[in-house]
C-alpha cells in the first residue's frame, strides 16, 4: 500500500512538472506578474469627464484569471468565474452569470494530453446537458 502511495505521489509530481513545461517562459512570466491581481478598466466621457467601470478581472495566487466581470451603464452586464485543475492548471469549469447574477450557462472542459482542448460540455442552469463541442486539430504541410 505504501509503495502504491509513493507511485501516485511520483506521478502527481511528474504531471505537475509536465503541465508547467507546456507553458512558455513568457507565459510563466506573465502569470508571475498577475498573482493576486485585480485589474479594473474604466471608461471616461470626453465631454464631461464622467467615469464608469467597464471590466474587472481577478487573478488567483497562481496568476490564473478566476473571475471576469463586464459592466454596463446600469451595473453588472455579465460575470464569468473559472475553476482550474490543480494538477494540469487548465480550466475545468466556467460558470457564466447574467446581469442579475443568476447562472446562465455552465461549461466544463476536457483536455488532451498535449494541452489542447478536447471537449466542451455546455449545461443549462438546471444542470441539464445542452450541447457538446468537440475540438479537432488538423495540421497541414502546405
Tell me the per-residue pLDDT of 79-138, one tens digit each, with 9 for 90 and over.
999 999 988 889 999 999 999 999 999 999 999 998 899 999 999 999 999 999 999 999
**pLDDT at residue 15, rounded to an integer:** 44
DSSP 49-117: --EEEEEEEEE-TTS-EEEEEEEETTEEEEEEEEEE-TTT--EEEEEEE-TTS-EEEEEEEEE-TTS-E
**pLDDT at residue 100, rounded to an integer:** 94
**pLDDT at residue 22, rounded to an integer:** 67
**pLDDT at residue 8, rounded to an integer:** 40
**pLDDT at residue 55, rounded to an integer:** 95
Domains and CATH numbers, the chain: 2-134 (2.40.128)
Tell me the per-residue pLDDT of 1-53, one tens digit each, with 9 for 90 and over.
444 444 444 444 444 444 444 678 877 777 777 788 899 999 888 888 888 89
Scored b (16 or more CB within 10 A) or e, 45-69 reads eeeeeeeeeeebbbbbeebbbbbbb
Here the cell at position 76 is 453588472
Contact 53, 86 (CB under 8 A): no
Residue 105 burial class via C-beta count within 10 angstroms: exposed 0-12, middle 13-18, buried 19 and up? middle
**pLDDT at residue 51, rounded to an integer:** 86
Amino acid at each position: 500500500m505504501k509503495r502504491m502511495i509513493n507511485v501516485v505521489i511520483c506521478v502527481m509530481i511528474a504531471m505537475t512538472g509536465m503541465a508547467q513545461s507546456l507553458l512558455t517562459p513568457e507565459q510563466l512570466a506573465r502569470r508571475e506578474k498577475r498573482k493576486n491581481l485585480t485589474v479594473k478598466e474604466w471608461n471616461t466621457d470626453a465631454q464631461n469627464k464622467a467615469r464608469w467601470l467597464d471590466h474587472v478581472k481577478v487573478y488567483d495566487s497562481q496568476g490564473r484569471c478566476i473571475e471576469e466581470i463586464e459592466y454596463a451603464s446600469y451595473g453588472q452586464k455579465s460575470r464569468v468565474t473559472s475553476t482550474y485543475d490543480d494538477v494540469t492548471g487548465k480550466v475545468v469549469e466556467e460558470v457564466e452569470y447574467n446581469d442579475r447574477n443568476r447562472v446562465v450557462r455552465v461549461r466544463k472542459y476536457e483536455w488532451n494530453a498535449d494541452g489542447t482542448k478536447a471537449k466542451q460540455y455546455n449545461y443549462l442552469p438546471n444542470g441539464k446537458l445542452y450541447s457538446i463541442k468537440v475540438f479537432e486539430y488538423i495540421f497541414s504541410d502546405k
